[in-house]
Every structure is written in structure tokens, then in C-alpha cells.
Amino acid sequence: MQKSDKTVEFSNGTPIVVFEQLCKSYQLGTVELQVLRDIDLTIKDGEYVAIMGPSGSGKSTMLNLLGCLDRPTSGLYSLAGQDISALDDDQLSLIRGARIGFIFQSYNLIQQLNVIENIEVPMYYQGFSEDASAKRARELATLVGLGDRLTHRPTELSGGQQQRVAIARSLANDPLIILADEPTGNLDSESGAEILNILVDLHKKGKTLIVVTHDENIAAHAERIIELFDGQIKRQ
Amino acid sequence: MFLFRLRRTAKLGIKSLWMHRLRSTLTTLGIIFGVSSVIAMLAIGEGASREAQAQIARLGSRNIIIKTVKPPEQKDVSGEGETMLEYGLTYLDAERFRNSIPNVEVIVPSRLLSEQVWYRNRKVAIEVIGTVPWYPEISPIQLQSGRFLSSLDMHHKRGVCVIDEKVVRELFVFDEPLGQDVKMARDYYRVVGIVSTQESGPAEENLGNEVAAGQSQGGANVGNIYLPLTTVKKRFGEMSLQISGSSGRSLERVELQEVIVKVRSMDEVLPTRETLETLLSRFHKKNDYQVIVPLELLEQARQTQRIFSIVLGSIAAISLLVGGIGIMNIMLATVSERTREIGIRRALGAKKQDIIFQFLSETLLLTLAGGILGIILGSFIPFLVTYFGRMPTVITGRSLVLAFGISATVGIIFGLYPAYRAANMDPIESLRHE
């Protein structure tokens, strides 16, 4: 559909994600916990970035911020030129659905829904028509190699297959960035490699990919590695 | 688009509810029983009320019925064997009503007697109503064939009678009744007309018993024969012999058992009743009459019905409230069980209102399903009541709409809070939820 215009609009090299002096802190009782401190970061369209770091370094928080699930305490986050910190809950929901594709470690498929219906969920919230979303969901399922399992429930699929459904789902609205949180963390090495291949393929097709991982192997494919330590970028 | 959303949401709701069939069913039971009890109670109440109103309406809403009542026993006439008791309404009373009460349409005096009627060798117990030609104006009887009594019959004290269909059924097996002679006491009467039977239900029977115990032996199971009032007076006289217990025989003299006054409009019923009572109390020292106003009974019946409805309504409301709380309880459990799903949906672009919509429609689905099943069950119960309890029941469209509306309202009210809770969960927390 017309969503593909975006890739034209942001041709390779345009900054998509911009963090400026970004801070995030949580109030834990009386103590203020600084999770992210003064982060400056730019991710360009079409990049493949891996975010690494030990647990507690702020990776999850960064991912939540990138995914517009949370707002920074201070500083600027602009996604494709739009200032995220100023948006309200509904607008954030809209942005999440339209511009961000999530891939989770534990797949996070909805158990009651079959493959097609799971892929349709983001399109449903963007107001796609029934026919259009069904057609696109079928295409995406075929793209990740599940064309013959359209009506299977998540419980009837292997971990690798479930993660492929999740990837198809993340592509549903043709997002600006794909955020993957330990995408191979729950998979055996073979399925993990398959998933990695799909992700690398997506990157080759021009998708912006941000992966949070411990896995050196995944990081090795990335063009850039951002290492977080203690809420700050140690190396990029 | 909206339809698609609705369909999608309904489909999802059904799937989620189907995953917990037992739980959904048990939860819905509260609503099912609540709604079916609303419908059954309303149907029974409505049936009873309609029956009462129909009976009262048969008595005539513009009528004022004055009945002769045997006054309390007085022992001042010290006779050993025979006493003579004179009481009740008189022709003079009827005359006074005619002369002194305005707005009267008709006045119908009647003599009522229990008799036996013969035709050939068949015999049947009946109620003789000695009355005037304009009796049909105050009664719901319909002329079926022949004619009713005429003023000439009255004038000449003719031996003619009009019988109702019940008598026809019991007496005349093969013969055409019109023109035949039937025998009562020592005399023969020619049948000149046939009228429909005056139906009287149990309530009317009670009324009758209360009013004129001893006078008529209950009108429910016997047919009526109408004679000219003058003929009755001439042939049956006004005396009757009462054998009462050990004290022996007593003679009673009663001129009229009943005078029915019909006024021009319903507004005049109550004022006229007061005038009548004043008039009667002036000339009747003994308490030997009773005034019955069907309109008043109708009002009373309506009043009773209102109270009945309030009581039934409260019971039903409580049961629905309990059902609603049950649903809310389950929905809260469902929401916390599906925290993760909520998180996923929020991450994939669902707004708060989408989540509210989803859970609210699930609750609605549950209660509406309960509502529909309740309506089916509730419509079935009145049939059983009618069949086994021999009570009339009426299911009105209004009660179905009401029950459905109530279940929907319960769904919305008790669904809102769980849905609101679901929508306000933090997406990050929800995604982490296991």
C-alpha cells in the first residue's frame, strides 16, 4: 500500500532515531534511580544496530524508549523528525503501531489467534480494511515461510516458527524501525540461525534494524554495536 | 470499517470466552436466572392482573352494583318455630334512585333465584334472573338468536324466558330451543331468545360469595335463565322458606336481590356512589345492602399490581445485581490473566480505548448471551406455570425488551471497571508479566 512511500521519503542515510541528552530515571521510594544518562545517539535509515551491555546497564529501558512504550525524563527523542516526548498516550499508541515493529524474546503471540490473525493485529489497530489486512497477512506469512500454516495456533508451532510469525507481524505496517529484543534468546542454535538469516535479509532489503542482544553472533552481523554500561554509552 | 471492528471484536470475544467454556457458562448462569426470573415474574404478574381486570371489566366500569345482604341475625322477633324476616332492596329503592340521582343512564333491578329447570325428562340447576328488558345494557351478554325480554313481556307478565348457551347445551340435545317450553317450579315458560353465557372466573365467584351468601349458589357452574321481573314476582312471589339449623324454619321476604345503576361516564361513578349510599342509609335502618363499584375494584387491582410489580422488580433486580457482580469478578480475573496479551496489544498499537472496547464487548457478549438464554428460559417457565399451575400468564414484548435492556446495562456497568483496569495497565509492566 502507500506505506512503502516512507522508504522513499527516508532514503538511506537519513537519521531516523535521534537522542539528544536523553535521560531516564525512576523514582524508587525516596531514591531516584538514574537508568539512562545523557545519551546522544543517532541511528540512520537502513542501519543494523546492535545494543549490547551487561544486565542492569539500561538496555531494556533504552528499548522501551526506542519503542515509544515509555517517555524520557529529560532530553529529546525524535523519531523520523517527530518529538516523541511531547506526545500523549493515544498518539504514542498510534506511532508504535505505524512506525515500529516489535520482535520479542518470548515471541509474544496472542494465544487465541491463529497465524494470520496474529499478523493482522497491528493492521487492525491502524484501521486496515478486512480484505487488505488479510491479503497482506498472507503475503507476510509466506515471506517468512509459513504460507502453509496460516490457520495454526501458536501452541501448534515450534519456537522458530512462532518467532517467524512475530517477524511477519512486526512487518505488518511497514515500520520505520524494527526493534528486536533478544530475538534468538529462546531458540536452539539452528532455529536461531534461521531467524538471524531472516533479520539479515530484512536489513539487506533496506529495513532499519535495532537488536538488543547478548549474542555476539548476532552482534557480529550488525553494522554498528552500541555498548551500554551503567546507563551510558561506553562505545559505539 | 466499524462493522469489521465489531465483527473482529466479537469473534475475539467468543474465542476468549470459548477458551474458558465452563467459567463463561457458570458466570452467565447468574444473568440467565436473573433475566428469566424477571420475565417469568412479569408474565405471571401480568397474567394475574389481566385476569382480574377482565373480570372487573365484565362487571362494568360504569356500573354501581347494589346487592341485598342478609343482615346480621336479630333475635328480637321471638318466634318459636317460624320467624318472618324482611330485608333487602325494594322496588321503592329502585324508584328513588330513578327519581333522585342525576346522570343515571339505566337502572336495572333484578330478582335472583336458584331453581331447577326441566325440558322433557332432562333437568338442570340454574339461576333465575328476573329482570327488565334493558338488562343487556349493563351486562356483557350477547344475544345469539331470538330476542331478549320486551316491555310487553313485562307488562303482561308473560311466561317467556331467555336462556343462555350453557342451559342450551345441557337441556336441548336434539331440539331447536327457540319456541320450546321449559318447566320451572309449577309453570311452563316459552324460550324466546338465546344469549351468550356470562363467564365468571374465581375472583367473581369470591365477590359473589362475599356479597350474597345464601342468595345465589354461585354462578360459575350453572347457566342463567332470564325472566321478566314482573313474571318472577307473580309466579315465584317474594317469600322464601329458609331451613336454618335447629331453630327451625324461617320465612324471608326480599323484593330485589340486586339493583345495578349505570351512570353516563366513569367520572360520575364515585360521586354517584356517595349519593346512593346516603340515600340508602336514610331508608335502610338494617345493614342489609352492599354497594360494589367495579371501577374501584379496578383501581384497587391496579394498585395491587403496582406493588406486586415493585416487589417482583426488586427481587429480579437483586438477582441481576448478584449476576452482575459475578460477571465483574470473572472479568477482573480474566483481565489479570491476560495482562500479557494487553501488553502485546498496546505495543502493537492499541490505544486505551481499543482495550476498553475489547473487554467491554467481551462482558457485553457474556451478558447478552445470558440475556438471550434467560429470555428463552424465562419464556418457557410461564408455559409450565400455566400448564401445571393453571394460572394465566402473559409474556409482553415490553418485558422481553426490558429484560434484554437490563442484561445489556448490567454488562456495561459491570464491564466498565475491569475494562478500565485493563486499559490503564502500564504496557511495559504488562509485557513483562508472566
- Size (chain A), residues: 236
* pLDDT at position B200: 54
Kindly list the residues of chain B whose beta carbon comes within 8 Å of any beta carbon in chain A: 1, 4-5, 7-8, 12, 15-16, 19, 340-341, 343-354, 427-428, 431
* Beta pairing, strands A100-103 & A177-181: parallel
Task: Fill in the amino acid letter for B185.
Answer: A
**Cβ-defined contact of B347 to A67 (cutoff 8 Å):** yes
* pLDDT at position B114: 87
Are residues B149 and B23 located together in one domain of the fold? no
Q: Which among B250, B164, B252 is positioned nearest to B212, based on CA atoms? A: B252
**Cβ-defined contact of B431 to A93 (cutoff 8 Å):** no
Are residues B218 and B132 located together in one domain of the fold? yes
Query: Using CA atoms, how far apart are residues A112 and B362, in angstroms rounded to an integer?
Result: 14
Q: Check: CB of residue B106 under 8 Å from CB of residue B134.
A: yes
**Cβ-defined contact of A169 to B354 (cutoff 8 Å):** no
Using CB atoms, which residue from A64, A90, A126 is nearest to B428?
A64
A114 and B CB contact within 8 Å: no
Average pLDDT on A188-215 reads 92
Are residues B319 and B241 located together in one domain of the fold? no
Residue with cell 361513578: B269
* pLDDT at position B207: 46
pLDDT, tens only, A4-36: 444 444 456 789 999 999 999 988 888 888 999
Average pLDDT on A72-96 reads 92
Are residues B125 and B221 located together in one domain of the fold? yes
In a domain, B289, yes or no: no
In a domain, B396, yes or no: yes
In a domain, B95, yes or no: no
The DSSP 8-state label assigned to residue B244 in this structure reads E
Using CB atoms, which residue from B1, B12, B348 is nearest to A125?
B348
Are residues B158 and B241 located together in one domain of the fold? yes
A107 and B CB contact within 8 Å: no
Contacts of A113 in chain B (CB under 8 A): 12, 15
Question: What are the two backbone dihedrals, phi and then psi, of residue B89, each rounded to the nearest 5 degrees?
Answer: -75, 150
Quick check: helix, strand or coil at residue B171?
Answer: helix
Using CB atoms, which residue from B1, B348, B353 is nearest to A122?
B348
Q: Which among B176, B46, B188 is positioned nearest to B117, based on CA atoms? A: B188
The DSSP 8-state label assigned to residue B256 in this structure reads B
**Cβ-defined contact of A122 to B16 (cutoff 8 Å):** no
Q: And the C-alpha cell for B155?
A: 307488562
In a domain, B261, yes or no: no
Are residues B222 and B337 located together in one domain of the fold? no
CATH code at position A231 = 3.40.50.300
> In terms of residue numbers, what domain contains B410?
2-55+301-432
Query: Using CA atoms, how far apart are residues B359 and B378, in angstroms rounded to an integer?
Result: 28
Per-residue pLDDT of chain B (434 residues; tens, 9 = 90+): 677 777 878 888 888 888 888 888 988 898 898 888 888 888 888 888 888 778 777 778 888 899 988 887 655 454 555 567 788 888 888 888 888 888 888 999 999 888 889 998 888 999 999 999 999 888 888 899 999 999 999 999 999 999 998 899 888 888 889 999 999 988 999 999 999 887 654 434 444 433 333 333 444 467 899 999 999 988 888 777 766 555 566 778 888 999 999 988 888 888 898 888 888 888 888 888 889 888 888 888 888 888 887 887 788 778 888 888 889 999 999 999 999 999 999 999 999 999 999 999 889 888 888 989 999 998 888 888 888 888 888 888 888 888 888 888 888 899 999 999 999 999 999 998 87
In a domain, B421, yes or no: yes
Query: Using CA atoms, how far apart are residues B359 and B374, in angstroms rounded to an integer?
Result: 22
Question: Which among B235, B254, B273 is the end of a domain?
Answer: B254
* pLDDT at position B211: 39
Number of domains composing chain B = 2
Using CB atoms, which residue from A104, A121, A173 is nearest to B345?
A121
Are residues B218 and B127 located together in one domain of the fold? yes
A93 and B CB contact within 8 Å: yes
* pLDDT at position B404: 82
Residues 6+ apart with CB under 8 A from B71: B87, B286, B287, B288
Query: Using CA atoms, how far apart are residues B69 and B225, in angstroms rounded to an integer?
Result: 22
> In terms of residue numbers, what domain contains A210?
2-235
Residues 6+ apart with CB under 8 A from B390: none
Query: Using CA atoms, how far apart are residues A191 and A193, in angstroms rounded to an integer?
Result: 5
* pLDDT at position A219: 87
In a domain, B158, yes or no: yes
Number of domains composing chain A = 1
In a domain, B286, yes or no: no
Query: Using CA atoms, how far apart are residues B168 and B176, in angstroms rounded to an integer?
Result: 9
Cβ atoms < 10 Å from Cβ of B332? 15
Question: How many angstroms separate the CA of residue B363 from the nearest CA in chain A?
Answer: 17
In a domain, B296, yes or no: no
pLDDT, tens only, A86-141: 899 999 999 999 999 999 999 999 998 999 999 999 999 998 888 999 999 999 99
Are residues B155 and B42 located together in one domain of the fold? no
Are residues B117 and B250 located together in one domain of the fold? yes
